[in-house]
Structures are given as structure tokens and as C-alpha cells.
Structure 1
Amino acid sequence: MAAKKKAATFESALEELEQLVERLESGDLPLDEALADFERGVKLTRECQQKLASAEQKVKVLMEEEGGKIQELPFDAHDDYPGDAE
């Protein structure tokens, strides 16, 4: 039995997912291969979603203020962040 693969990084999972989409969009795959690629794509999508959710949670924890509130800022407002040194 094959050993389990080490968990892929977000970037490598996303790259593989993009390659699978290209293969599927080509329309040149036999049904069995297309189904296997689709199944792998669903798995990679779930892995990416989990990694993004984990990263979002970590960012929220880091951004938490003393009162337990989360200060949400748009990405383009990073210069206005009160924790930034001037």
C-alpha cells in the first residue's frame, strides 16, 4: 500500500488544482481520468479552503484588541494601522 503524501502547501495545492482544471477544460480526457481528476480537484479545493480558514483565524487572533474586539481593516489601509510605527 502506498504511503500517504505529506500535506501540500497552499501554493502547491493551488498550482495542482489549476493544472487539473486545465486538463479538464481541454475535454480530451477519457471519462475515468476526468472523473479521477475531478475527484482530486474537489479534495484539493477542500484542503485550500481549510488552509485559508486557518490562516484567517490566525490573523484574527493576531489582530484582536484587549477588549476582545477584532479590528478589521481593508488591505489598502495598512498605513493607517495604529500598531504601525511612524
Structure 2
Amino acid sequence: MAEESMTQPTDPSTLSFEEALRALESIVRRLENGDVPLDESISLYSEGEALRKQCMERLQAAEARIQKLTLDASGAVTGAQPFGAD
């Protein structure tokens, strides 16, 4: 575990959504465990916030793409509708 704490944070913009989410989940587990020193906790929190922001931006971009294309029963594009609107 000590080796894990010595790794440099990865630039979230270089990660796929799935990689960023896994990294964020790992940080949350470490912080919830409660055995990380204060200074490292602050660094992990900062890295986690950057990962959270990147994940949210990617989700919002995916939602915007979904809103642009809505298919009817025959599979034809019918136009834009908000995501989740039925």
C-alpha cells in the first residue's frame, strides 16, 4: 500500500471514463479506510475532485449526444428529446 501512495497523480483528461471512475473509487476507499495521513488525504481529495469533475463532464457530453438522436419504433431518427423523457 505504501507504494500506491507514492505514485504520482494521473492527468484525468488522459483517462477513459471507466479508468477515471475506477481511480476515483480507489481514492474513496482509501479515504474511507481512515489510515491515510492528513497531508496525503488532502492530496487524494484534490485528485479525487479532479477525477469526479472529469467523469461528470464526460457523462454530460454523453447525455448531450443522446439528446440529439431519438429513434422511433422503425429506427428512424425523429429529432432531439431530453435524455430520460418518455
TM-score by length of 1: 0.70
Q: Point out 4+ residue stretches in structure 1 off by more than 6 angstroms.
A: none
Matched, 1:13 2:26: no
- Letter of the aligned partner of 1:25 in structure 2? E
Q: What code does the residue aligned with 1:8 have?
A: L
Q: Please list the CA deviations of residues 34-81 of structure 1 after superposition, one character each: whole Å capped at 9, or x if unmatched.
A: 000000000000000000000000001112735xx51734xxxxxxxx
Aligned partner (choices 23, 26, 37) of residue 30 of structure 1: 37
Kindly report which structure 2 residues correspond to 1:1-86, keeping only aligned pairs within 5 A, or say none: 5=11, 7-63=14-70, 65-66=78-79, 69-70=80-81, 72-73=85-86
Q: Quick one: percent identity of the two aligned structures?
A: 34
Structure 1 runs not aligned, ≥5 long: 74-86
The letter of the residue matching 1:70 is Q
Match of 1:78? none
What is the number of equivalent residue pairs in this alignment? 68
CA drift of 1:7 comes to 1.7
Question: Structure 2: 5+ residue runs without aligned partners?
Answer: 1-9, 71-76
In our comparison, the structure showing a higher alpha carbon Rg is: 1
Supply the AA of the counterpart residue of 2:66.
V
CA RMSD of aligned residues (A): 2.1
The residue number in structure 2 matching 1:76 is none
